[in-house]
Amino acid sequence: MKKIIVPVDFSKHSEYALETAAALAKQHNSELIIMHMLEMSESIFSASSDERGEENAFMLMVANKKFEAFLDQPYLEGISLTPMVKYHKVLKEVASVAGDVKADLIVMGSRGHSAQDGLFTGSNTEKVVRYSDTPVLVVKSKPDSVNFDHIVLATDFSDESVSAVKNALELLAELGKKTTLLHINLPNLGFLSTDEIDEKIANFSKKAKLNTEAVHMARISDHSVEDGVLNFAKRQGADAVAMITHGRTGLSHFFGGSISEDIVNHTKLPVVTFKL
């Protein structure tokens, strides 16, 4: 893990993300690219070029001062830092920059849909994931540790997801010690018997060439994928959950619906998302 991007708006939630990313950077000797997006006022778009230039210069000066104070943290000592300011509040730029610099991970804070507007509302986090081919780690609180002993990765064990799961497992092996692939059996959506699930898991493991000693398999029955993932994670004492998303529909998981969106907004655990 050579490069980690951290979008910040100087809030406490972006500080949670920065502290999490800093701990990961120390573990993996990674560079942190800390990215702030200037919030442009509506009036600037109708202003003259001279007025736009003056406002841009002022906002950049303010951002640089905030950066200097925000980055004055003891946990950042000894880490390679690259501050970056973007002029437009277009969140897909985060994904674009991540691709340009070949980042391995984006770390974002999120305060869910119920809070005030800002960079780290749930909907904006979804937008970053929607455009990002780079995995995104979403955190919602101050990290106690980034030593993820157990990560639960939800999957439907479909042929379509083989490549995405294999790619996800590579990063999760760096982030955590143990990963469990979890199948959620739903009452009215493709319900499978125990034998059918076992056969599906066995076929998937063979196609994906999984090391079944390093990667654990589990199944659970529940009323929804969200309930199944969160209940299993709670029961197992998992440190994080992971979801494979579908870029064309934002955080919609290949199971269908807005499952990943619900999980990101309803769990206090860190969530890692990967694009299918």
Task: Check: CB of residue 150 under 8 Å from CB of residue 178.
Answer: yes
Task: Report the predicted TM-score, pTM, of the whole model to 2 decimal places.
Answer: 0.84
Helix axis angle, 259-266 to 225-236, nearest 10°: 40
Pairing status of strand 105-109 against strand 136-139: parallel
Name the nearest CA neighbour of 83 among 96, 95, 65.
Answer: 65
Q: What is the C-alpha separation between 112 and 262, in angstroms, rounded?
A: 10
Q: What is the C-alpha separation between 225 and 192, in angstroms, rounded?
A: 14
With H, G, I as helix, E, B as strand and everything else as coil, classify residue 81. strand
Task: Check: CB of residue 87 under 8 Å from CB of residue 56.
Answer: yes
Domains in the chain, please, with CATH?
3-139 (3.40.50.620), 148-275 (3.40.50.620)
Reading the chain (276 residues) residue by residue, the pLDDT tens digits are 999 999 988 888 889 999 999 999 999 999 999 988 766 444 444 445 555 566 666 656 767 787 788 889 999 999 999 988 776 555 677 888 898 999 999 999 887 544 444 445 556 677 777 778 899 999 988 888 888 999 999 988 988 889 989 999 999 999 988 999 999 988 876 788 989 999 999 999 999 998 877 789 999 999 888 899 999 999 999 999 998 876 554 444 444 436 766 787 788 899 998 887
